[in-house]
Structure formats: structure tokens, C-alpha cells
Amino acid sequence: MLIAVRAEVESVDHWREKFKTHTDLFKSQGVSLVHMGTANDKTVIAVFDTNDVDEFVRIFNDPATVEAMSEDRITGGVEMFILDETFKL
């Protein structure tokens, strides 16, 4: 299952660097792959491939994740989307 998380950050470059240090946290969420992107110099998105949506959401709401986001200098606007439908052309 794919889950997208969008956020506003202080610095895209800082976010990219720090985000990649959270491997253990992501693995505990059942994550095997993450796609990362930006909309501009203050808005980022990460799309997580997880095998356990419930555990992902539980840990996403845990203080450890809040701490990780703080290290990444996320300033707000955090939104999570569970991508539960596919439209094939």
C-alpha cells in the first residue's frame, strides 16, 4: 500500500539530508521504499510503500515521528494520504 505525506519545510536540502537518516523508523512502519519530491523550495512529499498501513499510521502519530519531523525542520502543513485506489489506463 502507498501512503503519501506532504509537508512544508524550512529547507528542501536539509529535509532531503535528514529524512534519509530515519531508516529504522521507516522500517518499523513496514516501509520498503520511499519516493521523495518537491513542489517548490518549501513543500515536499514522500510516498511510502508499506506492508502495514495500521502500523504506519500508529507510528506516524507517535512522539518519535514528531521528533524526527523536528530534526527534518518541518514547519507545518503536514498531510497524510492513504493511496487506496488505482486507476489503470
Q: Where in the chain are the domains?
A: 2-83
Confidence (pLDDT) at 3: 98
What CA–CA distance (Å, rounded) separates 33 from 35?
A: 7
What CA–CA distance (Å, rounded) separates 89 from 28?
A: 34
Q: Please, which residues have CB within 8 angstroms of residue 47's CB and are 6 or more apart in sequence?
A: 2, 3, 4, 5, 34, 35, 36, 37, 83
Q: What single-letter DSSP state applies at residue 52?
A: -
Q: Please tell me whether the overall predicted TM-score, pTM, comes out greater than 0.75 for this model.
A: yes
Please tell me the class of the 2-83 domain.
alpha beta
What CA–CA distance (Å, rounded) separates 19 from 73?
A: 10
Q: How confident is the model at residue 36 (pLDDT cuts 50, 70, 90)?
A: very high
Task: Give the pLDDT mean for 47-51.
Answer: 98
Q: How confident is the model at residue 14 (pLDDT cuts 50, 70, 90)?
A: very high
